[in-house]
Amino acid sequence: MYINNLKLENFRNYNLLDIDLDKGLNIFIGNNAQGKTNLLESIYILAIGKSYKEHKDMELINWDKEDLYIKTILTKKYREEHINIYINKNKKKTISINELYINKLIKLIGIINIVIFTPDDLLFFKNGPDVRRQYFDAQISQIDRVYFENIQKYYKIVKQRNNILKNKNVSRETLCVWDHQLMQYGKEVIRKRSEYVKELQNIIFEIHKSLTSNKEDIELIYNNNVSEQDFEKELENSLELEKKYGYTMVGPHKDDYSFKVNNKDLKRYGSQGQQRTAILSLKFAEIELIKNITGENPILLLDDVLSELDNQRQKHLIKYIQKVQTILTTTEFDENIMKELNIGKIFNIKEGKIV
């Protein structure tokens, strides 16, 4: 799949942007704070429905304006898709696909598949489990709408159940109703997450081997807080504590993911370079998985990451860049890297405008 056209109106520092993209490699060059990351963020929102940054939709609207549009025309194997997102300051948000308004975000998910590389990727190891959960939730949702729906429902139930637990006199019967739903959706989430990790592991192992010249065996691990089988028992066991602290202590909202390289935990023992390489392998594996499952190539978003990689890793990344639509941002045009690439279009960004 590839994006033909992208239009931004009053999106962050863009007043009006209207660009036709190349099917292959698109490079956006600009100094700091000109709008490179904002542009990639808009594409992320088209794919996932909301930003990867922790913030409210309102913050996406240009400071001096009342509302924004993000519009795109996309070519897929068998059809074209038109997506429009509108957000205004009164918290109104509407999304239309091929001129039809959708009432649920789920209808947007998966139309555009993306794999994004950002300088923040290393936070994958430095931050807490919520960052890793959020990352994988977005990736799984892109290829499985049922998962997206289950995870939304699950988080909602956790929130409501927490509210109920805050009432010290809550009866066992009341809680039972919530426990039932918590387990129903929770088990679906656990099942899908472990299935996803298994599928990804099959792919990532070989990719990582080749990225590290056969030196490293990588293992992606799903550290689930509770298994499907033990959910009920563990929930029962932690009831007293849950009542004491007023929140749900068992379930996939406490899951985590980790990597092992040659049997050693990468978060704890890995060097910066090893961690970076693992993330690269992860993303390459995701490209392959999306392709296997949807039959379409995802779109690659690369936010100023090429220069941080060594030669060998750059070459691998370039190999993927040549196969799928890529939107790459950079502050400097590095001749050495660029001469290896088959460039489609180059855009110069300055203060939210193409110059």
Ligand X SMILES: Nc1ncnc2c1ncn2[C@@H]1O[C@H](COP(=O)(O)OP(=O)(O)OP(=O)(O)O)[C@@H](O)[C@H]1O
* Near Mg ion in 29-48, by CB under 5 A: 36-37
**Cα 193 from Cα 136, distance rounded (Å):** 8
Q: What is the closest distance, in whole angstroms, from the C-beta atom of residue 196 to ligand X in the complex?
A: 30
Q: Is 92 left (phi over 0), alpha (psi -120 to 50) or beta?
A: beta
Closer residue to ligand X in complex, CB, 38/314: 38
Count of residues in contact with ligand X, rule CB under 6 A = 15
Interface residue with ligand X among 21, 35, 187, 222 (CB under 6 A) is 35
What is the C-alpha end-to-end distance of the chain, expressed in Å?
A: 27
Residue at 172: amino acid letter: R
Stretch that binds ligand X, among 33-41, 42-50, 89-97, 309-317 (CB under 6 A): 33-41
Q: What is the closest distance, in whole angstroms, from the C-beta atom of residue 95 to ligand X in the complex?
A: 19
CB 287 within 8 A of CB 297: yes
Tokens 């009542």 map to which residue? Answer: 243
Q: For residue 304, give Cα distances in angstroms to 81, 127, 184, 187.
A: 28, 21, 42, 38
HEC sequence for 299-324: EEEEECCHHHCCHHHHHHHHHHHCCC
Closer residue to Mg ion in complex, CB, 261/299: 299
Write phi, then psi, for 223 (nearest 5 degrees). -95, 85
CB 286 within 8 A of CB 260: no
Q: What is the closest distance, in whole angstroms, from the C-beta atom of residue 11 to ligand X in the complex?
A: 8
CB 251 within 8 A of CB 225: yes
Residues belonging to the chain: 355
**Which of Mg ion, ligand X, none is residue 10 near (CB under 5 to 8 Å by kind)?**
none
Q: What is the closest distance, in whole angstroms, from the C-beta atom of residue 130 to ligand X in the complex?
A: 23
Closer residue to ligand X in complex, CB, 239/354: 354
Count of residues in contact with Mg ion, rule CB under 5 A = 2
Is residue 88 at the binding interface for ligand X, with CB under 6 A as the rule?
Answer: no
Q: What is the closest distance, in whole angstroms, from the C-beta atom of residue 32 to Mg ion in the complex?
A: 7
Is residue 270 at the binding interface for ligand X, with CB under 6 A as the rule?
Answer: no
Residue at 353: amino acid letter: K
What track of x and - describes contact with ligand X for positions 56 through 75 (by CB under 6 A)? ---x-xxx------------
Is residue 13 at the binding interface for ligand X, with CB under 6 A as the rule?
Answer: yes
Q: What residues make contact with ligand X under the rule CB under 6 A?
A: 12-13, 30, 32-38, 59, 61-63, 331
Q: What residues make contact with Mg ion under the rule CB under 5 A?
A: 36-37
